[in-house]
Amino acid sequence: MAYKIVTYFIIILLLISSGVRSGAARTFDKIIAYVNDDVVTQRELDVLVNQRAMELQQVYRFSEREALNEAERQRSELLDRLIRQMLLLEAALTLKLTVSDVEVEQYIQDFKKRYNIETDEEFRKQLNREGMTLVAFREQSERNLKAEKLVMGRIVPRLQVRESEIQTFFEENRDQLPTKTDKVHLRHIFVAFKPNQADRDTAFETVNKALSEITADRTKFEEFARRYTSEQNPSSQAGMLIEASTEELEGFPKIFQDVLTNLEAGKLSEPIEGNEGLYVFTVEMKTDKMIAFRYLIVPLKPSAEAMQEARERIVEVFKKLENGEEFNALAAAHSDDAETRDNGGDLGVRSLTELNPKTRTIIEALESDTYSQPHETESGLHIFKVDERNSPSLSEIEKQQITSILRQQRFQEEWDAYTNKLLENAYIRIELKE
């Protein structure tokens, strides 16, 4: 269930706005249900459907068409609740429950306020549109209040919520409360999938072949660059003429700046290893303020053998952890993450919501001062360690809000259970046609 914060407790009672339930006026209306010695007519249910549509418009901001369609969809449910409410009223009358004129008047005022009815004249007109009189509405309000008293006496006392239930609800819905997510002080040992020497030798053979072809015909640099790059990275700018000012060049990767600053126009650079592979640059135009250049990349990817070597490395590191060696020291000695290696693999304090789903699943299972099994990603393998874990506590206001939600859930359950018993002992016959 979604965690939705509310600050009030709603007693679920339907207003049966069908006027006085006895009398000759109902004789000519179609009967759609028999409830013990009483009946439900087509008009009564139609009025209830229209009232639900009005509620959807004024309270829940539905459009008129949306409200009517939704209320009509709920027709069967509204009939069921109407029958249950009639049985509650019958039970209340049997128990001789009473309400005062003051309570009835307050009930009417609350109704008017809920539906934004500002004047008595507007209220009378609204009742007339529904085929009711003020006297009939007061009588029905009195009956509703008696049913409500029955509910308050029989059901509400059962709505106690224990502290353990509040905590369970919180834990089950924690994902929907970003400010209440655990924070962890996290470390890792990272063993990257890196090309081995055999992978580098293969890449250098390829780039040297490309250089030979380019040297033979410099005009085809773009064609050769496309051919050697497109299979690995079709969207790469490799081979395209790139023009940049000296100021713009400062925003390029460092490998570009270092090579292009010293490379003369018309020359080819030596193969240079970068993040994506082996680069070859050529400068077509160069002034004090502008440079126009192209580049070629031969991708340098780890082979299956190189990836297996990384897996074997992480297994050896994990064995050392299991044998009691200190995590920080192993990170400093074996991690390929240059940014965290010297700090013992320290990733800092992270909220669980910051982590990608797969990593989060691993971290959530770790208590303070524990580490994970090796975890493989596209770039390499990680061993994570949680130094410290902090779980935020609930404020008193938040506890009260969760209590309200749980009480509403329990009220519905208890209301259904109580009225189910009334249904079991009642004579019900429904003749509603779809």
Q: Tens digits of per-residue pLDDT, 14-55? A: 433 333 344 434 445 789 999 999 999 998 899 889 989 988
Joined together, the tokens standing for residue 122 give 């507007």
pLDDT at 7: 28
Phi, psi for 428 (deg, rounded to 5)? -125, 130
Q: What does the pLDDT read at residue 21?
A: 45
Q: Which residue has the higher pLDDT, 1 or 81?
A: 81
Task: Give yes or no for residue 316 having a pLDDT over 90.
Answer: yes
Residue 187 has pLDDT above 80, yes or no: yes
Question: How far is CA 233 from its chain centroid?
Answer: 34
| Burial degree of 326 (CB within 10 A; 0-12, 13-18, 19+) | exposed
In this predicted structure, what is the pLDDT of residue 177?
A: 62
Q: What is the pLDDT of residue 306?
A: 92
Q: What pLDDT score does 234 carry?
A: 57
Whether the per-residue pLDDT at 140 is higher than 70: the answer is: yes
Q: How far apart are CA 367 and CA 254, in angstroms?
A: 41
> What is the rounded average pLDDT of the residues 201-230?
85
Burial class (CB in 10 A: 0-12, 13-18, 19+), 147: buried
What is the mean pLDDT of the segment spanning 162-182? 77
Q: Can you give the pLDDT at residue 231?
A: 58
Task: Please state, in angstroms and rounded to a whole number, the distance separating the CA atoms of residues 410 and 159.
Answer: 6
Residue 313: what pLDDT? 95
How many CB atoms are located within 10 Å of the residue 379 CB? 12
Q: What is the mean pLDDT of residues 346-364?
A: 88
Q: What number is the average pLDDT over the span 339-354? A: 90
Residue 389 gets which letter from DSSP?
A: E
DSSP string covering 152-219? HHHTGGG----HHHHHHHHHHTGGG-GGGS-EEEEEEEEEE----HHHHHHHHHHHHHHHHHHHH-GG
Bridge partner residues of 168 (DSSP): none
The confidence score (pLDDT) of residue 24 equals: 39
Mean pLDDT (the chain) is: 85
**180 pLDDT tier (thresholds 50, 70, 90):** low
